[in-house]
Amino acid sequence: MRMGRRIATTLKRAAIHAGPTVLGIVVLDFFFLQLMPGDAADVMATEAGSASEETMAALRHQFGLDQPVLTQLMNFLNHLAHLDLGFSPRFNTSVLDLILERLPGTLLLMVTALGFALLIGIVLGSVMAAWAGKWPDRLLSIVVLLLYSMPGFWVGLMAIVLFSVKLNWLPNDGSETIGAHLTGFSFIADRLSHLVLPALALASFFVAVYARLVRTSMLEVQRQDFMRTAHAKGLNPFLVQLRHALRNALIPVTTVAGMHLGNLLGGAVVVETLFGWPGMGRLALEAVLARDFSVLLGVLLLSSLLVIVANVAIDLLHAWLDPRIGEA
């Protein structure tokens, strides 16, 4: 019951907080669209091959492009309110449908990468903290610093060389074996084997971020009085670390995880392109190549909304970890 109330408070707070940000993103999006070379009429005209001045003017009038900027902004907002992100002549479908089709792919990749990053990062960070200043810490610190410095897509490429080209263990293209028509377990295994490399490539940088953070906050927690209380109860040191230290140390980690969600999505653009993964990021690049800016900006808009939603999820996780949040 108390948990329910805290969740409600957290959600309410997040909604109040996110509102203006969403509006800001939409307006920013609109102005980028204004700045883009050419407008929808130009795109249509190019698609059609040629168009006279009059038809161009008629098209502009039809799209409302000849109206003052503010009116156009209101139109834009109005369309958005009806979940209308425009039509993509190049892909011959509505922008929203196009993006929604790619959304699950990106979500799967993101969640898996974040999971990898948190899991590996927490383990590495805890090990480093437990042996702080000794050789396991020094060795892992170097490894982590290297991961922190390597471009994720390069890690992916090197992983392809090793695991796909040399060892032939894992596939390096797409999200499933084309034309295999697998079912049941082998279908899942196939999807998972396609997921491993891109997720690891995307996770590599964040593994380093979380490992460093967990190390610092675990060391910080060791100095707290409640750790002595826990040891004074005669509890197993491993249990003390797991139950008493880690849970406290994870609170700052979730905060930082939230701050890095945008970066994670940004990284997905390169990684998805590299691995031919059918997601929003690759769609963004396809849109750039096709010079279809409504799609590009649609991706930007939806990614930002995704970050906001994910941040709410992080807030809830935060509330679960820290009973002080969401009360009063």
Partner 1 sequence: MSLLAVEKLSVGFPGHTAVHESSFSLDAGETLALVGESGCGKSVTAFSVMRLLPPNAQVKSGRILFDGLDLLTKTPAEMRDIRGKQISLIQQEPMTSLNPVLSIGLQITEVIRRHEKVSRKQARARAIELLDLVSIPDAHRRIDDYPHNLSGGMRQRVMIAMAVACGPKLLIADEPTTALDVTTQAQVLDLLDDLRHRLKMAVLLITHDLGVVAQWADRIAVMYAGRIVEKADIKPFFAQPLHPYSRGLLGARVDVDTEEHYLSDRLTEIPGSVGSAAGEAGCPFAPRCPIVVPACRLAPPPLIVQGERAVACPRVSA
Partner 2 sequence: MTVEAEIVDTGSRAAPKKGRRLRAFLRNPTFVAGVAILGFFVFIALFADVLFSDDPMAMMSSPLVWPGEDMQFPLGTDQLGRDVLSMLAHGARASLLVGISSAAIGLAIGMVVGAAAGFFGGWVDTVSMRLVELFQTTPTFLLVIVIVSISAPSITTIVVAIGISSWPTVARLVRAQFRSLRESDFVMAARSLGYSRLRIIVQEILPNALPPVIVAASVMIANAILTEAGLSFLNMRDPNIVSWGGMIGDGREQLRNAWFLTALPGAAIAMAVLSLNLVGDGLNEILNPRNEP
Residues 248-277 within binding reach of partner 2 (CB under 8 A) = 259, 262-267, 269-270, 273-274
Q: E-assigned strands of 124-173?
A: none
Amino acid at 83: L
94: three-class secondary structure by DSSP: strand
Token pair 């471009």 is found at: 151
Distance CA 219, CA 247 (A): 13
Q: Which does 149 bind (CB under 5 to 8 A by kind): partner 1, partner 2, none?
A: partner 2
Residues 20-39 within binding reach of partner 2 (CB under 8 A) = 20-21, 24-25, 28, 32, 35-37
**Contact assessment for residue 125 and residue 215, using Cβ atoms and an 8 Å cutoff:** yes
Q: Is 232 in the site for partner 1 (CB under 8 A)?
A: yes
Count of other CB atoms within 10 angstroms of residue 177: 16
Q: Is 247 in the site for partner 1 (CB under 8 A)?
A: yes
Question: Please, which residue, 61 or 228, has the CB nearer to partner 1?
Answer: 228
Helix orientation angle between 293-321 and 280-289, rounded to the nearest 10 degrees: 160
Residues 124-163 within binding reach of partner 2 (CB under 8 A) = 132-133, 145-146, 148-151, 153-154, 157-158, 160-161
Distance CA 92, CA 191 (A): 29
Q: Which of 305, 205, 302, 296 is nearest to 256 (CA)?
A: 205
Stretch that binds partner 1, among 41-49, 60-68, 188-196, 318-326 (CB under 8 A): 318-326
Q: Is 230 in the site for partner 1 (CB under 8 A)?
A: yes
For 56, phi then psi, to 5°, come to -60, -45
Q: Which does 321 bind (CB under 5 to 8 A by kind): partner 1, partner 2, none?
A: partner 1
Least distance (Å) from partner 1 to the CB of residue 156?
37
Beta carbons within 8 Å of 32's beta carbon, 6+ residues apart: 297, 300
**Which residues of the shown chain bind partner 1 in the complex (CB under 8 A)?**
2, 224-226, 228-236, 243-244, 247-248, 251, 321-324, 327
**Which residues of the shown chain bind partner 2 in the complex (CB under 8 A)?**
20-21, 24-25, 28, 32, 35-37, 132-133, 145-146, 148-151, 153-154, 157-158, 160-161, 165, 219, 259, 262-267, 269-270, 273-274, 281, 284-285, 288, 291, 293, 296-297, 299-300, 303-304, 307-308, 311
